[in-house]
């Protein structure tokens, strides 16, 4: 199963990739929205984990762009804590919203839950 992580923080990417990979997931990492869309267009993704604060295109815009053609689950993992941001994350097409800093086990559990969801095409 392919999971995409989009974050401009290499340490976050490495931590999540390590934990998901050791449980058998194929993890793709992107540091920008453009890089993420390139992966999505060429790889069947089962789950995307997005940060909001990305260079050039923010996570909300990326989510809206993804939702134009794809219906896999999207989990926001971000340090944006306002209620408005949380609502925006759901309204733009996200399935859940987790705050940084985060517990790896919780992020892993949510990833398992959402990766197992089947969305209509």
Task: List pLDDT tens digits, range 66-86.
Answer: 999 999 999 998 888 789 999
Task: List pLDDT tens digits, range 32-50.
Answer: 999 999 999 999 999 999 9
E strands, the chain, are: 2-6, 26-30, 47-50, 74-78, 96-99
Domains, the chain, ranges and CATH? 2-115 (3.40.50.2300)
Whole-model pTM: value is 0.85
**Residue 24: other Cβ atoms inside 10 A:** 7
């Amino acid at each position: 199963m392919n999971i995409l992580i989009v974050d401009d923080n290499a340490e976050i990417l490495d931590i999540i990739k390590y934990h998901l990979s050791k449980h058998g997931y194929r993890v793709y990492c992107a540091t920008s929205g453009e890089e993420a869309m390139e992966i999505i267009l060429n790889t069947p993704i089962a789950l995307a984990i997005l940060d909001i604060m990305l260079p050039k295109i923010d996570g909300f815009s990326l989510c809206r762009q993804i939702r134009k053609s794809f219906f896999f689950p999207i989990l926001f993992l971000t340090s944006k804590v306002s209620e408005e941001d949380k609502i925006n994350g759901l309204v733009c097409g996200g399935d859940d919203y987790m705050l940084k800093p985060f517990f790896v086990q919780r992020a892993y559990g949510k990833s398992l839950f959402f990766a197992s969801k089947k969305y209509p095409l």
